[in-house]
């Protein structure tokens, strides 16, 4: 009879995914083999409990790290090394940088590939800048969590002037946002606004190289990158109304994943969630896209009520419609407030206004 041998197969344990050592019960595997298998089993046992999907820009990663840190602080099982993994996913908006967003077309330019990964089970949760999230969510996903909102204002950055009002006529301001462009040109028609894309660091480099005289960036992003000192000044909301959901982080998961929903619900900041819902309802009624300058801001005022302001404009700033509302700070009332404000501006603008933006 042939001598018994220890055979290590490629069979895997159904839970841990570790190789299984198969040997005759009358002879044990050599100690070195057992030790190697034990080490591999231990390493593979440390599989991630949560895989976070995110874009790869420094700001997106900062937001993913913030999410990871909050999860670890709230749930002891997630504090173990390797329990939370960050998965970088390139989106259409990241890959096409030489065209204005409006010319690329479509919604979800910075979210679609991440949503696809979520639905395919390659990630467990998706971290988004809420201002990038379309007003509809893909079927099979849910967004149960908004982290506490950062400062919603825009930062003015310039090497030669302290504010937009100080820029000489003909100065070039770089911005990929039609919302910013329209409000700049509405107040300062002598300025010129050009397409200016890239992440925060890229735009700051282009500014220093003299491609433009000034630019605007979301103060929230600068703060999350610990770069707030980069701002020359901060524009008041009365002068530059923010984008819908600006400064808010949203975290999505699959709608049938109760465990992830429980994790995310523990992080949700309800005041932010309600404000974002109000603003997004306003946007949904207007069916805004990258060709439509739309701005909105809902917040809890000193009396505890919801104050809302909304804006619809033409890209050149020649036409601006504005509205405001105040009401109770509750979900149903705020959703209705955003919807009502959207219908008001849609009626004011008329169908011809939107046709002209196509």
Coil, strand or helix at 217: strand
Q: Are strands 84-88 and 50-54 parallel, antiparallel or unpaired?
A: parallel
In terms of C-beta density within 10 A (0-12 exposed, 13-18 middle, 19 or more buried), how is residue 355 classed? exposed
CA distances from 152 to 156, 238, 244, 268, 320 (A): 13, 12, 10, 18, 21
Which two structure tokens, joined as six digits, stand for 178? 């039609």
User: Per 3-state DSSP, what percentage of the chain is helix, strand, and coil (rounded to 5)?
Assistant: 35, 20, 40
Q: How far apart are the first and last CA of the chain?
A: 83
Q: Are 56 and 90 in contact (CB under 8 A)?
A: yes
**Identified catalytic residue from 132, 151, 258, 287:** 132
Structure tokens at 158: 């310039």
Centre a 10 Å sphere on the Cβ of residue 222 and count the other Cβ atoms it contains: 22
Contact 133, 155 (CB under 8 A): no
Residue 116 neighbours by CB under 8 Å, 6+ apart: none
Of 209, 210, 208, 215, nearest to 193 by C-alpha is: 215
The token pair at 258 is: 């109760």
Nearest to 131 by CA among 280, 336, 339: 280
Tokens coding 338? 């955003």
The distance of Cα 35 from the centroid of its chain, to the nearest Å, equals 45
What Rg value do the Cα atoms of the chain yield, rounded?
25
Active site residue 132: yes
Q: Residue 48 and residue 54: Cα distance in Å, rounded?
A: 16
Active-site positions read 132
């Amino acid at each position: 009879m042939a001598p018994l041998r220890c055979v290590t197969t490629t069979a895997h344990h159904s839970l841990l995914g570790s190789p299984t050592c198969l040997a005759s019960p009358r002879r044990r595997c050599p100690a070195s083999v057992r030790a190697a298998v034990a080490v591999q089993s231990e390493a593979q046992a440390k599989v991630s409990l949560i895989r976070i999907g995110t874009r790869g820009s420094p700001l997106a990663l900062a937001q993913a790290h913030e999410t990871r840190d909050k999860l670890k602080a709230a749930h002891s099982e997630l504090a173990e090394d390797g329990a939370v993994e960050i998965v970088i996913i390139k989106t259409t908006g990241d890959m096409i940088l030489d065209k204005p967003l409006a010319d690329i077309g479509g919604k979800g330019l910075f979210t679609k590939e991440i949503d696809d990964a979520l639905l395919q089970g390659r990630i467990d949760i998706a971290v988004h800048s809420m201002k990038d999230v379309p007003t509809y969510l893909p079927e099979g996903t849910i967004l149960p969590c908004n982290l506490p909102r950062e400062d919603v204002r825009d930062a003015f950055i310039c090497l030669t002037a302290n504010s937009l009002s100080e820029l000489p006529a003909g100065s070039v301001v770089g911005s990929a946002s039609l919302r910013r462009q329209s409000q700049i040109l509405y107040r300062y028609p002598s300025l010129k606004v050009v397409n200016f894309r890239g992440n925060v660091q890229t735009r700051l480099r282009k500014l220093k190289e003299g491609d433009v005289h000034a630019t605007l960036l979301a103060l929230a992003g600068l703060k999350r990158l610990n770069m707030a000192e980069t701002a020359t000044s901060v524009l008041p909301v009365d002068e530059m109304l923010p984008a819908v959901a600006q400064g808010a982080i949203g975290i999505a998961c699959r709608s049938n994943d109760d465990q992830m929903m429980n994790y995310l619900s523990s992080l949700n900041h309800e005041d932010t969630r309600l404000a974002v819902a109000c603003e997004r309802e306003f946007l949904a009624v207007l069916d805004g896209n990258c060709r439509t300058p739309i701005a909105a801001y809902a917040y809890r005022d000193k009396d505890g009520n919801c104050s809302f302001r909304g804006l619809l404009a033409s890209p050149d700033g020649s036409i601006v419609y504005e509205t405001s509302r105040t009401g109770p700070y509750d979900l149903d009332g705020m959703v209705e407030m955003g919807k009502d404000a959207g219908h008001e501006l849609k009626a004011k603008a008329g169908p011809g206004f939107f046709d002209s933006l196509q």
